[in-house]
Structure 1
Amino acid sequence: LQAIDPDVLLAHNLHRFHIELLLQRISATGVKHWSRIGRLRKTKMPTSHPVDRGAACGRLLCDTWVSAKELVHEKTYTLTELARTRLSITRQEIDPRQTPAKMRTSLGLLEMIDNACKDSWITFELMFTLAILPLTRQLTELCGNLWIRSLQSRRAERNEYLLLHEFHKKKFIVPEPYTKREKMRLKGSTESSSSSRKKAQYSGGLVLEPKKGFYEKLVLLLDYASLYPSLIQEYNICFTTVKHWELGEDEIPPEPNRNTESVLPSVIGHLLKRRRAVKSLLKDERNPDLRTSLDIRQKALKLVANSMYGCLGFENSRFYCKPMAALITALGRKSLTTAKEKAEMTLYDPPVEVIYGDTDSIMVHTGIDDLAKARKIGHEIRKIVNKPFRFMELELDAIYKDMLLLRKKKYATNVVIERDGKVILEREVKGLDLVRRDWCTLSKDAGNVLLDALLSGQPREEAVAKIHDYLTDLKKKLTANEIATGKFIITKGLTKDPKAYTDAKTQPHVQVALQMLKEGLFVRSGEHIPYIIVINRSGGTEASSDTSLAARAVHVSKVLRQSEKTTPKEKFLHIDIEWYITHQILPPVARLCEPIAETSPGQLAECLGLDPSKFHRTVAATASEDIDEANIELDRKDPERFSDYPREDRLPLRCRHCQLRGENDENETRKWKDIFNLEVDGAYMVRCHNQNCRCGNIDLVGDNDDIARIMNSIRVHFRPYLQRFYRRELQCDDPMCHTRTRAHWSTKCPTLGCQGNLVPMYSSSALYQQLSYYKSLFNLDEAEKRLNLERTKREEAYQIRLKSDSKAMKGIDLPLNPRDGLPKGSEKRFELLYNFVDDLMHTSGHHFVNLSNLFAFSQ
């Protein structure tokens, strides 16, 4: 090593394993001058963790494991997986437990040397494929930090050095970073753990509630380019313009003065300007070597610009400033809301609809198949939204066709791409089970087959028939043991040292990691553990499948080694096929098919050989997702919340003359209507809408007898919901578990082997929402505000459309003034009904906090 004197030491998992192992072997064998690993002479070997710190001074340490985690997204970051996915090379692995045996023979020793040389070349190729050295060098030149720290993916440190240099140029004195003791004092706590997961200290980006369903028409994805950096530029957000020191940590500062020049926006503006220039050069460059160099430069500029906001919200950063970070996210939420409102204000036929939005993007359903027309709509919306901004820019990022939107951050679609005059469809999947590591490959394969059928453009009935046939055939193959063992592997990462888990007995991957430690294998935080769920059949006695799931998890290598056995008696680990069908195949398949009316969980279960009667309940989200959606519902305004309120939960009101129902009329095809609809005919609920009624269109809310009748109708209608709530039935939130109980002794499911939690079948939030629905029926003030707002929106949208299209329609339908359509005396009666429901709501304890119970522990 001293003779070669390399500048760079390269290995996979160098920091956490190879350097430490090398120092251990040097110490054990008594090798002198250990410090020649680096270029600085030292006498005392490092003992504190991590030992690589200072062990190789004067040389760069390039760890492909660390760099790959920052630059690419993979299922696992082992050398074997990266070689397969990035280099298309099948790497031969040697089990560490075979090392002693191989070391005893010359052939075995030569095999190990040959394998080590091949691993070195794979690591070498991986370093060049990921362009680790040139990219980190470019980052170092941009930020002015140490190259070795860039190789360690110290993003916060990179940004810190960049800002330090810029503030120094501007003659500012920057604050010293807080010491550990100062941080603890500021937090008011004696505990500080940078590795523990903490709840966000301020509101993040806005996620619009998705309108779930399967959309066969074109959907536009409109995306803000570099939203947070653009917000910093647009609103001139900087330490020099925002008076954050005058505010508490939980306060959001006002928008700063945009006319003064400040440091942070100028730094970000310079980075984005340089990136645009480099991308422009890249577009016209034909030389492959120069293109690679330019691509590395633009990636480095992008990484630095996009992570600049992060240093404001990162507690351990020198430039941590919670009020500024909160202001940026608040402006981001405002921008997304504005984009949604302006998009829906446009007048198109059919009208466009924002079906989802997440942080910096919105999805707009056009309702058409014409690609050119859809693109034109996207550009028109883009112009309208971008008009008031200087730096922020909403762009038409993509066009989707056949979109399956399941819930927040979970969808699958075909991206429409025009290439060489041809239209090509490419699959895009976000957040679904088949892209997560903790689902086996077999589950992902099933999900991909389903998506192929659903997004193929063929008739829905044919697609569903293909899905049913595939699942039936899959069940046959599983029963006949025709599926490869590798398809059953589940992978899950360790967030801390395996021995530090307090609930290790319930975590399969932790149990496997602990077994690996017992066998002398290297396992630490950050490792991804592959395992398979089995049934142990040893000595002819089958262990109960109800044994703890974690106890039935074994490392993949054990199952693969067993497959080499020849006699059935030697094969005592058998894959638990029933568990995989019930917990790994059916749940993701049923979730994908949730919006498809032509099939059901029961039918899918029957295809997989399960009892369909047990799976009539829709395989929905986890309890935490359900709670989040319930909270979102309570935050939405009445017209939004109850626009698609279930028909069976609506209040049936009958005309006293013709007995025609108002809300529950089965012949009523229009969506839910409250006091007023948004059409030209004005009042809806206050009048009988039966044109043949002998009452001559007299209002439903008539004399005092009618008021009493409606009040009694509300009481009678509400009583079953109240009884249902007080039954306090609980059910397991695991879709495959059907446990129901009224015992409240624990939140954990009592079924042996189930990892689910017990949640109310009818929650207090659902009861409160039912009361809110009644109240909204008679909220005259809210109805008036809503219709007036609708008038304003339609007028503004018409003016915008008229400017962009001179051939736009010359007139526009506007809702009538709501109070003009009311019969005489109706306002007072509506007020009585509203107050009646309001009194009923105050008998509910849902929105009250009992402080005596809350602080009972202190008594």
Structure 2
Amino acid sequence: MSGGNDGASWRLSRKPNAPNFDETQEDQWRSLREEVLQSDEDENIPESGDLTIPQLPSAKKAAKKLRKPPSGAKPTPKPKQQTLAQSMSDMDMERLLKRYRIDEDIDIAEDIDMSHLLQLHSDSDDGGDAQEATLTADEFLARLARAEAAPAASIAKEKRKSGENVTVVALKDELFNVERDQSAKPLRPRPAPGAGGGAGYRNEETPKQAIELTATLAPQMDAAQFVSPAVPYKSGEMTEGLFYWFDAREQPHTLSVDPGSLFLFGKMAVEKNGRTSYLSCCVRVRNMYRSVFVLPKAGSSQEDVVKEINDICRNQGIEQRRIKFVERYYAFEVPGVPHEKTQWAKLRYPGRYPPLNAKGPFRHILIIMGASSSLLELFLIKRKLKGPSFLRISGLVASANRISHCALEFSVDSPKNLRAEDTKLPVPPFTLASIQIHTQLDSKGACNEILIASVAIYKDVNIENTIRYIPDNILTGVRPASMSTPLPIDLESYCSAKGLPGVRRFANERALLDWLAQQLGKIDADMMIGHNFLGFTLDILLRRYQELSISSWSTIGRLDLKRLPRFQGTATNVNQEKETCIGRLVVDSYSLSREHYKTVNYRLLSLADQMQLQGITKGSNNFEPGTSVLTPAMLSASRDIYDVLLQVCNCAVLSTAVVSHLDVIRLTKRLTTIAGNLWSRTLFGARSERIEYLLLHTFHDLKFITPDRYVQNFKRGRDDEEEEDGKRKAKYQGGMVLDPKCGLYSDYILLLDFNSLYPSLIQEFNICFTTVDRESGSEIDVPPPENLICASCAAAGLSAPCLHKCVLPKVIKSLVDSRREVKRLMKIEKDANNLALLEIRQKALKLTANSMYGCLGFEYSRFHAQPLAELVTRQGRLALQSTVDLIPQLNPSLRVIYGDTDSVMIQTGIKNDIKAVRDLGLDLKAKINKRYQSLEIDIDGVFRAILLLKKKKYAALTVTDWQGEGKTYKKEVKGLDMVRRDWCPLSKCVCDSVLSRVLNAEGSEDILDYVMNYMRDVSEKVRAGRYTLDNFVISKSLTKEPEAYRGNSFPHATVALRMKQRKELVRVGDLIPYVICTGDRLSDKAFHVEEVRQNSQLQIDSEWYLSVQIYPPVMRLCEHIQGFSNAQLSEAMGIACHTGAKLEEEEAETMNDFSHSSLFQSRKLEECFPAALSLQVACTHCRLMTPINPHTRVMEVLADQERQRDRFDLYVCVSCRKSLPVDYVANCFTQTCYGIIRQFYQCGGSAAAVKAVRTQFTYYRALFDVPHAPGCPARVKDAHYYQARRCLGVDRRLYTLAEAADPAVQEVADPVDPLNAAAETIYKRIDHLFINLDSLFAGI
């Protein structure tokens, strides 16, 4: 008998309480039967995967145990024995017989047709000889054990009698139930191995192939053999060189060694034996200067300005300086600064002095700009360095006191000694190191300790090509999990013999980390790769380096640093940790995959599975680095340790494979070349910084003074913008989303989309810092023609637009034209490698152009200009609305069913002619594009069918070959439940099946019949436990530490806390997989998947899954299908809890619309609620009582022609006209409500009082809601939603309802409308305030 996941034989052990066969024959059979049934309850699968099965005693041994009755005892009359078919089920006998065969070492492979054998015995029992009839149980089993079963095809199975309560299921079936006699004691069914049962799921595990090495690795080498040693150049030996730079760092002015200098890191070309090789090099650039621009006040003389500048410098200790007057332009957001050519004072002083304090007030100076610019920024901008490139350096001086870990180290006396070299030389070869560590919590559970560290080394890598993921060598260090259990002495030789060289044993963690630090210094990698390296690995390494006093810790980077940084906890500390890696580019496969690869699970092994990456192994085991917990026992044998080390090494290789698959090294290099920032910053994901540097280079070349950097106080640990597509939505009205015409459409749907809408609008309307007037205070509009030329150029007689205007549109046009040219080259390119490079170029250009708009709306950007961003989005809304209005004018038979920001969906009414749909789309495209110059609409796709549910929620069959025959379809799902990870796989699978049928069905009747039958079948299978455990797993990400979650409504946090108690690694951002089992509270019902597998008492809560995970998404998919009702679905699924769910949902929706109430007779609340008390509060400024009426306040603003478009505070004192704090008004309102409730209880709760309280709270509910009452004009609603500041954020700022609905704002400020929330809460509690005692005690 075989079983288990690895195909090995089940381990057998005799059950200690096996029955003694000295009873009557009837008792023997009953005992055997009860033993089988009871063993069904007692069998457990041990953690090893083997199965312990109770054995039956052999026939020979049982015969010895039979005892004769004592002498003198009267023989009891032998009752007539039941036939086996009557006393035991076929399944019971099959299991007994197979166990008996194993016990007796009887090797008969044929399956047993027990029904046939029992029928034969039954026949012999009725008419056979007496000896056969009195056969004992053991003797019968012994005879059956040696019997061979007849072929299944030759056995005629008899129809069972209807009275026999037995279910026959073949043994090979994975799921079976055995019905028992009604008189038998009911036992809870438990699944046999590989079968479903009481646990509520089918215990079926995918067979795992033993892990083994598939790649051939180089023999064991020391890391020093991979790199060239440091070259001790003497002074004057090398004075000029060709240097390929890729990273840089500014030396802070506060340090004593070369303050205010720069360090450049890269590869220096060295001639040796007539061949050019490249060695790692650090170049120290001294004598850097700061540049500050000072704008004089009107009427101040140059002498007065110079004197005041000198006074400021002397007060700050700046002794050396130069001042001269220059002409510069300005076009940004500081009020009062002229936007035409103006005379500024330029101050230059050495970088060893601190940045100038630009805070006033000043007597002759209006403003100081550029004081916050770093030396590194000035160096990149002034030397026109755009990304990694070759530099020709003169005046090199070999460093006597080395401060780096590079092979070469030089210094130069001036940044002017460096100039960009225009050369076609290939990029120097890089050395890559991929790092993977395995950590576990210490015995106290206080901190992570490192048990294993692995480094995969890649030598001479051409980063312009696809990176190979098979390393040249792998170095691995391992230490014992416990000092009392040392590692096997033959570990290195065993691993080397198995093909894994480079393994080293260490006695403790300090020795391991000291070895790792030394190896990193010898490898001298140009790039370090790791999965979640920045978020976890780096922090752990630095913490353990500090804890264990590892002197060579700074080899993690190329600067020989002496002081460890502060550790993670704030954004500043995270950046300090990154600084330790300076000189080595960090490629974090985790953060880069989150930016460039969309999925729900970013764990390394999950990513590798999705990308179909193999690494250096095949097969798998239960160990995952960084997650699994290793015990000393698991590290006691070389064979077991080898499997673990192989998995760690494979993860190091997989990190490189993910990076290679995403091609992010070439992509980020190209993005950096376009923008002109640091490559390391692009790899860190600093998207807004790329656009900043692109604009800094552009405006500096045009002699503009650029904005100062904002002092950013991020509340998140990750770098600036991390929203999808490089955009972070601003605090203003965004794109237009049309109300969808929901339903199922079976004719062709045409999708038209504006190409790069926002960049195109910037070009179309010349929207730029230099053209749009933002100081008038009125609503800005597209710039008039006279704004397209500056005064100096107009005086010179130049044409518009001049060089100093329309800068932003020109930059975008340059990017768009470059991309168009690259795409043209791609069409004629035949070489695969060149084609890949061109693809990277066009993708980088596209990402940069599409991110230009984001810098306008991102509040932490240097070039933040919210008025410009609002103008762009407003023009986008107008373009979309005009297109929607134009389509029915062009063709009255067309119907726009949905539109979102830059696209429209058009119902064509065509069912079978794809050519007609294509021609229709081309005709619409041509007519719409006639109205624009830069803005262009195009056919984005054709849907064969679409199920439109809500805004941003739809599913469709996309015609992938709509330009051809239109016969190939692909399902596309946007925003539905099935694409979210907090729904279990079973829910997604069910929704996918339903959706496929809905989109492919011919009519609604066909859909409903299928859905009801299918959901009925799914519900039965869920209750019967026919799905595997993996189908019930829900995954949810930790957004903060598990201890930070409050309350019991976060099951994933509860599971994460238990994981931490087991010393498993749990980090913010991790996906926590859990299963809901039977229990009371949701948090108590949630268990980790492994907890459920290991605890047979935990049962899947099938009713919870049916009602919470399966019913709601299916109901939402079908709600717009004709003839569907949620009652039908509830009945088909056998659940009653949701029959009222839809009603509750509808009631919740109508709660925001009071049109159902007879109290509303007009839009004036005072007329609707004449008896209601108005809300009044004491003003915090003048202390007079003022009424609170948001509707009156809105109407007052709208009546003011000058202010009707402005934003305004909603709660204002009518006496002093000063704004009232929103939280203060909310507190006053809450106290007023509690006072009404107290008064109600004190008056005795009469019927009149009940009606008065209901009316009063309904009035308050309407008072703070939008709209206030039925029939409110759209203009009033818009004012409430887009202009009235009524929501309070955690940052103590006020927001409009539109801003509060923005996900970006919610993440940062989490604004709420406190008055509306309080009114709604009180309104919902009305029914809980009253108890009708008459009805409560009516039956007494």
TM range (shorter): 0.5 to 0.7
Please tell me the residue identity of whatever aligns with 1:342: L
Per the TM alignment, residue 414 of structure 1 is displaced from its structure 2 partner at its CA by 0.8
Aligned partners of 1:129 and 1:771: how far apart in 2?
Answer: 55
| Residue 485 (str. 1) matches residue 1029 (str. 2) | yes
Q: Deviations over 1:621-648 (max 9, x none)?
A: 996x8899x79xxxxxxxxxxxxxxxxx
Report the 3-state secondary structure (helix = DSSP H, G, I; strand = E; otherwise coil) of the residue aligned with 2:1053: helix
Please tell me the residue identity of whatever aligns with 2:1040: K
Report the 3-state secondary structure (helix = DSSP H, G, I; strand = E; otherwise coil) of the residue aligned with 2:629: helix
Judge conservation of contact 1:601–1:619 (CA < 8 Å) in 2.
no
| Residue 578 (str. 1) matches residue 1103 (str. 2) | yes
Please tell me the residue identity of whatever aligns with 2:933: R
Change (3 A) 1:743 1:524: farther
Q: Which residue of 2 aligns with 1:399?
A: 942
Per the TM alignment, residue 298 of structure 1 is displaced from its structure 2 partner at its CA by 1.3
Per the TM alignment, residue 178 of structure 1 is displaced from its structure 2 partner at its CA by 2.6
Please tell me the residue identity of whatever aligns with 1:126: V
| Residue 111 (str. 1) matches residue 643 (str. 2) | yes
RMSD of aligned alpha carbons: 3.4
Change (3 A) 1:147 1:400: same
Per the TM alignment, residue 770 of structure 1 is displaced from its structure 2 partner at its CA by 6.8
Q: Deviations over 1:801-828 (max 9, x none)?
A: xxxxxxxxxxxxxxxxxxxxxxxxxxxx
Structure 2: unaligned runs, 5 residues or longer: 1-519, 569-573, 789-800, 1155-1249, 1255-1259, 1275-1314, 1321-1340
Report the 3-state secondary structure (helix = DSSP H, G, I; strand = E; otherwise coil) of the residue aligned with 2:770: coil
Q: Which residue of 2 aligns with 1:257?
A: 784
Per the TM alignment, residue 504 of structure 1 is displaced from its structure 2 partner at its CA by 4.5
Q: Deviations over 1:460-482 (max 9, x none)?
A: 32232222222121112112211
Judge conservation of contact 2:959–2:966 (CA < 8 Å) in 1.
no
Report the 3-state secondary structure (helix = DSSP H, G, I; strand = E; otherwise coil) of the residue aligned with 1:126: helix
Q: 1:320 aligns with which of 838, 842, 864?
A: 864
Per the TM alignment, residue 519 of structure 1 is displaced from its structure 2 partner at its CA by 3.4
Q: 2:556 aligns with which of 30, 37, 45?
A: 37
Q: Deviations over 1:725-761 (max 9, x none)?
A: xxxxxxxxxxxxxxxxx99999xxxxxxxxxxxx999
Q: Which residue of 1 aligns with 2:883?
A: 339
| Residue 283 (str. 1) matches residue 827 (str. 2) | yes
Aligned partners of 2:832 and 2:600: how far apart in 1?
Answer: 30
Change (3 A) 1:422 1:392: closer
Q: Deviations over 1:415-469 (max 9, x none)?
A: 1132764621111111111111111111110111011111114333223222222
Change (3 A) 1:427 1:124: same
Judge conservation of contact 1:591–1:620 (CA < 8 Å) in 2.
no
Please tell me the residue identity of whatever aligns with 1:458: E
Report the 3-state secondary structure (helix = DSSP H, G, I; strand = E; otherwise coil) of the residue aligned with 1:102: helix
Change (3 A) 1:584 1:447: same
Q: 2:953 aligns with which of 405, 410, 420?
A: 410
Q: Which residue of 2 aligns with 1:593?
A: 1118
| Residue 55 (str. 1) matches residue 580 (str. 2) | yes
Please tell me the residue identity of whatever aligns with 1:253: I
Judge conservation of contact 1:83–1:91 (CA < 8 Å) in 2.
no
Aligned partners of 1:135 and 1:473: how far apart in 2?
Answer: 49
Please tell me the residue identity of whatever aligns with 1:390: Q
Aligned partners of 2:729 and 2:940: how far apart in 1?
Answer: 31
Per the TM alignment, residue 556 of structure 1 is displaced from its structure 2 partner at its CA by 2.6
Q: Which residue of 2 aligns with 1:559?
A: 1092
| Residue 11 (str. 1) matches residue 530 (str. 2) | yes
Judge conservation of contact 2:1040–2:1069 (CA < 8 Å) in 1.
yes
Judge conservation of contact 1:437–1:491 (CA < 8 Å) in 2.
yes
Q: Which residue of 1 aligns with 2:682?
A: 150
Report the 3-state secondary structure (helix = DSSP H, G, I; strand = E; otherwise coil) of the residue aligned with 2:578: coil
Per the TM alignment, residue 158 of structure 1 is displaced from its structure 2 partner at its CA by 0.9
Please tell me the residue identity of whatever aligns with 2:829: E
Q: Which residue of 2 aligns with 1:769?
A: 1270
Please tell me the residue identity of whatever aligns with 2:609: R
Q: Which residue of 2 aligns with 1:239?
A: 769
Change (3 A) 1:352 1:195: closer
Q: Which residue of 2 aligns with 1:140?
A: 672
Judge conservation of contact 1:67–1:132 (CA < 8 Å) in 2.
yes
Aligned partners of 1:548 and 1:331: how far apart in 2?
Answer: 51
Change (3 A) 1:608 1:457: closer
| Residue 125 (str. 1) matches residue 661 (str. 2) | no
Per the TM alignment, residue 525 of structure 1 is displaced from its structure 2 partner at its CA by 3.2
Structure 1: unaligned runs, 5 residues or longer: 185-192, 536-544, 563-569, 632-741, 747-758, 774-848, 855-859
Report the 3-state secondary structure (helix = DSSP H, G, I; strand = E; otherwise coil) of the residue aligned with 1:312: helix
Judge conservation of contact 2:567–2:577 (CA < 8 Å) in 1.
no
Judge conservation of contact 2:554–2:580 (CA < 8 Å) in 1.
yes
Per the TM alignment, residue 155 of structure 1 is displaced from its structure 2 partner at its CA by 0.5
Q: 2:813 aligns with which of 269, 272, 285?
A: 269
Change (3 A) 1:268 1:765: closer
Report the 3-state secondary structure (helix = DSSP H, G, I; strand = E; otherwise coil) of the residue aligned with 1:402: strand
Please tell me the residue identity of whatever aligns with 1:409: K
How many residue pairs are counted as aligned between the two chains?
A: 619
Judge conservation of contact 2:688–2:855 (CA < 8 Å) in 1.
yes
Change (3 A) 1:55 1:264: same
Per the TM alignment, residue 99 of structure 1 is displaced from its structure 2 partner at its CA by 4.5
Please tell me the residue identity of whatever aligns with 1:167: F
| Residue 78 (str. 1) matches residue 603 (str. 2) | yes
Aligned partners of 2:663 and 2:903: how far apart in 1?
Answer: 30
Judge conservation of contact 1:368–1:374 (CA < 8 Å) in 2.
yes
Please tell me the residue identity of whatever aligns with 1:412: A
Change (3 A) 1:22 1:319: same
Change (3 A) 1:586 1:397: same
Judge conservation of contact 1:8–1:59 (CA < 8 Å) in 2.
yes
Please tell me the residue identity of whatever aligns with 2:546: S
Per the TM alignment, residue 196 of structure 1 is displaced from its structure 2 partner at its CA by 13
Aligned partners of 1:59 and 1:46: how far apart in 2?
Answer: 17
Q: Which moved more, 1:42-51 or 1:599-608?
A: 42-51
Judge conservation of contact 2:688–2:721 (CA < 8 Å) in 1.
no
Aligned partners of 2:1252 and 2:1048: how far apart in 1?
Answer: 23
Per the TM alignment, residue 517 of structure 1 is displaced from its structure 2 partner at its CA by 3.4
Report the 3-state secondary structure (helix = DSSP H, G, I; strand = E; otherwise coil) of the residue aligned with 2:1048: helix
Aligned partners of 1:291 and 1:347: how far apart in 2?
Answer: 42
The answer to which structure has the higher helix fraction is 1
Judge conservation of contact 2:766–2:806 (CA < 8 Å) in 1.
yes
Q: Which residue of 1 aligns with 2:543?
A: 24
Q: Which residue of 1 aligns with 2:592?
A: 67
TM-score by length of 1: 0.67
Q: Which residue of 2 aligns with 1:511?
A: 1054
Change (3 A) 1:744 1:255: farther
Q: Which residue of 2 aligns with 1:605?
A: 1130
Per the TM alignment, residue 76 of structure 1 is displaced from its structure 2 partner at its CA by 1.4
Q: Which residue of 2 aligns with 1:475?
A: 1019
Report the 3-state secondary structure (helix = DSSP H, G, I; strand = E; otherwise coil) of the residue aligned with 2:1077: strand
Q: Deviations over 1:519-555 (max 9, x none)?
A: 33333333332222122xxxxxxxxx4x331332222
Q: Which residue of 2 aligns with 1:368?
A: 910
Judge conservation of contact 1:601–1:615 (CA < 8 Å) in 2.
no
Q: 2:747 aligns with which of 217, 220, 231?
A: 217
Q: 2:1081 aligns with which of 525, 528, 548?
A: 548
Q: Which residue of 2 aligns with 1:749?
A: none
Aligned partners of 1:463 and 1:612: how far apart in 2?
Answer: 24
Q: Deviations over 1:294-323 (max 9, x none)?
A: 111111111111111111111111111111
Q: Deviations over 1:233-276 (max 9, x none)?
A: 111111111122443xxx64111135534111111111111112
Report the 3-state secondary structure (helix = DSSP H, G, I; strand = E; otherwise coil) of the residue aligned with 1:476: helix
Judge conservation of contact 2:543–2:567 (CA < 8 Å) in 1.
no
Q: Deviations over 1:633-671 (max 9, x none)?
A: xxxxxxxxxxxxxxxxxxxxxxxxxxxxxxxxxxxxxxx
Report the 3-state secondary structure (helix = DSSP H, G, I; strand = E; otherwise coil) of the residue aligned with 2:917: helix
Report the 3-state secondary structure (helix = DSSP H, G, I; strand = E; otherwise coil) of the residue aligned with 2:1008: helix
Judge conservation of contact 1:504–1:511 (CA < 8 Å) in 2.
no
Report the 3-state secondary structure (helix = DSSP H, G, I; strand = E; otherwise coil) of the residue aligned with 1:97: coil
Aligned partners of 2:1031 and 2:613: how far apart in 1?
Answer: 19
Report the 3-state secondary structure (helix = DSSP H, G, I; strand = E; otherwise coil) of the residue aligned with 2:885: helix
Aligned partners of 1:580 and 1:744: how far apart in 2?
Answer: 43
Aligned partners of 2:870 and 2:702: how far apart in 1?
Answer: 26
